[in-house]
Amino acid sequence: MKGEIMRVELISVGTEILLGDIVNTNTAYLSKELATLGIDVHRQTTVGDNRDRLLQTLSTAFCENDTVIITGGLGPTDDDITKECAAEYFNRDFYFHEYSWAKILERLTRSGRNLITDNNKKQAMIPNGAIVLENFCGTAPGIIIEEENKRIILMPGPPREMKDMFKKSVRPYLERFSSKKFISKYIRFYGIGESLLETKIKYLMDNQTNPTLALYAKTGEVLLRVTASDDTVELCEKLINDKVLEIEKIVGEYIYLIGDDNISETQTELHNVVANLLIENKLTISVAESLTGGQLSSMLVEKGGISVSLLEGIVCYSNKSKIHALGVKEETLNQFGAVSEQTAKEMVIGVSRRLNSDVAVATTGIAGPKSDDTNKPVGLVYIAVYYQGEVKVFERIFTGSRELIRTRSSIEALNEVRKIILEHI
């Protein structure tokens, strides 16, 4: 089948998905990953933990597709029926897989569980002739059953286990069915919305062939995936680099990061970009937060090694804290209020002086759900950035929930820090 176009259906198994108790992120992840391999997903289906319905779903799926990928239903309990239905569909008996059982015992023992019951052995039962995929993050092994030009790929439902298994085992397996190489690069944008970005690069989107382009909205950001296929990795990379240059000429001012799939899954990568700029340029930073309540400092702390740059983060939520910790003047607060350009400026100067940092950033604003007694609008935010004696203050108005306003403010603050560092290095 090498070189032929694979037709795939994704099936998610679990009554908890149908009831809305959990959000199904597996299909979105798999669809994206399969696209990078040049594999189109023809349908996505969710079915509960019901034997007859799952068997009917498999029968329908194979009427139109040659490959079915199923996530979920590989646990040790009676309602985990995926493996049994797949084996029944292909008329396979089971055997006890000693290696899988040894790995299950090892993991259960390591996790501190003293009671190992008979139903744990269920996960080590494998359909005859199946390919076994080791689970490095959990107990349920994955399984591939092949028959003529049909195949079922079974993976566990927990996203962490599924993603690890896909990367290590399923993706290499699927790559064997294509004579082409597929490479993707991701571009992260800040300061431009998805609709405006699409408008600006509409010509490229409408005329895409190879590479292909796909837009994804993030929280306050946009991600663009560029995927190329060719005979070699080198030819793919050249196609991608040429396309990236075209994109940069049109909207380069909004691009803050270009990389592989490691930068594609998070809502933002600005904290890592800023942390790297600080570390690489041997700059120190201090943070004063009112509105964001420590979120900005927490985002920077996610980066390993940031301790050489991040001197301190202060949550100065009350006016009293702003006065005593940062030296904000009482008359400034009385005249202009805590949410003001003047207060933000004094906050950032105050925190920069405490430990004489090269860079400082301060946030103050109204996250809601109600305004304060000044009648200033919910979502009004002031961000002050200090760089070696220079201070800039930015006024922004964000909409949405309290949580979203705080998150957008933190990301915006990081972006302004990024820009001021790049202006001076």
The per-residue DSSP string of 290-344 comes to: STTTTHHHHHHHTSTTGGGTEEEEEE--SHHHHHHHH---HHHHHHH-SSSHHHH
* Residue 1 confidence (pLDDT) above 70: no
Is residue 348, in this structure, part of any structural domain at all? Answer: yes
Is residue 370, in this structure, part of any structural domain at all? Answer: yes
* Residue 123 confidence (pLDDT) above 60: yes
Structure confidence at residue 181 (pLDDT): 83
User: What radius of gyration do the chain's Cα atoms show?
Assistant: 27
Identify the three-state secondary structure at position 420. helix
Same domain flag for 149 and 193: no
Is residue 125, in this structure, part of any structural domain at all? Answer: yes
- Residue corresponding to tokens 């994804």: 216
Return the H-helix or E-strand segment holding 148.
Answer: none
Assess contact for 172 and 133: CB atoms under 8 A: no
Strands 67-71 and 7-13: parallel
Same domain flag for 107 and 190: no
Same domain flag for 236 and 363: no
Most confident of 168-182, 204-218, 311-325: 311-325
By mean pLDDT, which of 1-15, 96-110, 111-125, 129-143 is the weakest?
Answer: 111-125
The rounded distance, in Å, linking the Cα atoms of 4 and 223 is 30
Q: Does the CA dihedral 254-257-263-266 come out positive or negative? A: negative
pLDDT bucket at 353, cuts 50 / 70 / 90:
very high
Same domain flag for 27 and 147: yes
Full-model pTM: 0.79
Most confident of 25-39, 309-323, 368-382: 309-323
Same domain flag for 193 and 225: yes
| pLDDT digit string, tens, across residues 394-416 | 999 999 999 999 999 999 999 99
Is residue 1, in this structure, part of any structural domain at all? Answer: no
Q: What is the CATH number of the domain that holds 417?
A: 3.90.950.20
Name the percent of the chain lying above pLDDT 90.
Answer: 81
| pLDDT digit string, tens, across residues 270-287 | 999 999 999 999 999 999
Bond before 211 cis per omega within 30 degrees? yes
* Residue 18 confidence (pLDDT) above 60: yes
Mean pLDDT of 361-373: 90
Structure confidence at residue 418 (pLDDT): 98
| pLDDT digit string, tens, across residues 62-89 | 999 999 999 999 988 888 899 999 999 9
Assess contact for 382 and 336: CB atoms under 8 A: no
Structure confidence at residue 113 (pLDDT): 58
